Amino acid sequence: MPETANAEVIVVGGGLAGLSAAIYLGRAKRDTLLIDSGRSMARWEPDVQNYLGFPEGIAGDELLRRARRQARRYHVKFARDEIAAAARRKDGFRLRGKKGSYLGRRLLLATGIFHIPPDIPGLKPCLGRSMFFCKDCDGYRVQGRSIAIYGWTNETVAYALAMLFYSSCVAIVTDGRPPRWDRAHARWIREYEIPVYRKRIFGARRNGTALKALNFEGGMEARVDALFTTRGDIYLNKLAKGLGAKINREGEIVVDFDMRTTVPGLYAAGCVTPANCQMIIAAGQGATAAQGINRDLLEESLATHSLRRFRGRQLRSARVRPVVRRK
């Protein structure tokens, strides 16, 4: 059995939310361990254009690399592992990973989500280049192009309407599924004259990473430069569920303003919570969670008098008053 690693705070997830939290915790002098399985969604974005402070854009994996370097500067420890289970203990949490086990007094889950890709073979090379999941991230970069929205729900219609600000050529493709949008959304489709193609899609034509066309059953081909999918997301909430935290109907971990879940000592941040799934929002939530955890640990150390013991050591061993001189 591998050794158990201990830390005051454990962060599971090394994407934008987890790394931002780790930087704040390290700078708050909290002994912090970040455990990550290395599958941040940010890796899929070659050119992040909406993150503050990078006017020329930055690749998602470079942003992650810089954030890891920044966290190391504040003595955050890292473990590459995938946590399979978590359990509560009197004094915190025990985690079991594929490679080791871990004990922490506070736990932050920043495990993210998985966007469900469209059911069209051969599109993987287009991911982040001409096939997208997020209008706020990628709408701006496909202005004036021929855009297809993949889906059959109210969200599909909302995406199509929002895309009209970027292009006059926007269509919905349902890939053979019966539409599930309500009457109001059906009315908007008619009012704004958005074409809907309902035939099954059996393939796509692309040139490298550039999508060129969608091929429909019956022999029709539609020229498409960009495909946005609205099939939904899978929330990576298994650990939170196992610990008994409240999860909403979508699968998001329910949190308060300090990113506290309904389980004492357990926090969550980033896309796995009810946030708009954006890098800057995930990073902000990570910072909020870290501040909440730091406050929580300070209050605990006052209640248990461990801060008094720490102060006692300071008083015995260090200069505790500023040097004062008579002028």
Ligand X SMILES: Cc1cc2nc3c(=O)[nH]c(=O)nc-3n(C[C@H](O)[C@H](O)[C@H](O)COP(=O)(O)OP(=O)(O)OC[C@H]3O[C@@H](n4cnc5c(N)ncnc54)[C@H](O)[C@@H]3O)c2cc1C
Count of residues making up the chain: 327
One DSSP character per residue, 147-215 reads: EEEE-SSHHHHHHHHHHTTT-S-EEEE-TTPPP---HHHHHHHHHTT--EE-SPEEEEEEETTEEEEEE
CB 192 within 8 A of CB 164: yes
CB of 30 to ligand X, least distance (A): 19
Question: Can you read off the two tokens belonging to residue 209?
Answer: 């990473």
133 binds ligand X (CB under 6 A): yes
35 binds ligand X (CB under 6 A): yes
Query: DSSP label at 44?
Result: G
What is the number of other CB atoms lying within 10 angstroms of the CB of residue 291? 16
CB of 278 to ligand X, least distance (A): 4
Q: CA-based Rg of the chain, rounded to a whole angstrom?
A: 24
Q: Which of residues 58-87 bind ligand X (CB under 6 A)?
A: 82-83
Give me the helices (H) in 29-118, please.
60-73
| Nearest CB to ligand X, comparing residues 111 and 146 | 111
Candidate ranges 29-37, 116-124, 256-264, 318-326; the one touching ligand X (CB under 6 A): 29-37
Tracing tokens 């995930």 back to the chain, one arrives at 282
Cα–Cα distance for residue pair 78/292, rounded to 1 Å: 21
Write the interaction track for ligand X spanning residues 223-242; mark x where CB under 6 A is met and - where it is not. Answer: -------------x------
Question: Can you read off the two tokens belonging to residue 288?
Answer: 């909020």
Selected binder of ligand X within 25, 45, 229, 231 (CB under 6 A): 45
| CB environment 31-42: b (16+ within 10 A), e (fewer) | bbbbbbbeebbb
277 binds ligand X (CB under 6 A): yes
| Nearest CB to ligand X, comparing residues 117 and 203 | 117
Selected binder of ligand X within 11, 16, 123, 253 (CB under 6 A): 16
Selected binder of ligand X within 7, 9, 11, 17 (CB under 6 A): 17
50 binds ligand X (CB under 6 A): yes
Residue 159: which of 205, 210, 194 has the closest Cα? 194
279 binds ligand X (CB under 6 A): yes
| Nearest CB to ligand X, comparing residues 199 and 238 | 238
Identity of the residue numbered 275: A
128 binds ligand X (CB under 6 A): yes
Write the interaction track for ligand X spanning residues 93-122; mark x where CB under 6 A is met and - where it is not. Answer: -----------------xxx--x-------
| Nearest CB to ligand X, comparing residues 112 and 151 | 112
Selected binder of ligand X within 40, 153, 174, 237 (CB under 6 A): 40
With CB atoms as reference, the residue minimizing the distance to ligand X is 15
23 binds ligand X (CB under 6 A): no
Contacts of 217 (CB under 8 A, 6+ apart): 176, 199, 200, 201, 202
Tracing tokens 């059959």 back to the chain, one arrives at 152
| Nearest CB to ligand X, comparing residues 18 and 92 | 18
CB of 158 to ligand X, least distance (A): 18
278 binds ligand X (CB under 6 A): yes
Selected binder of ligand X within 211, 282, 289, 297 (CB under 6 A): 282
Residue 149: which of 118, 127, 172, 126 has the closest Cα? 172
Residues near ligand X, by CB under 6 A: 12-18, 35-42, 44-45, 48, 50, 82-83, 110-112, 115, 127-128, 133-134, 137, 236, 270-271, 277-280, 282
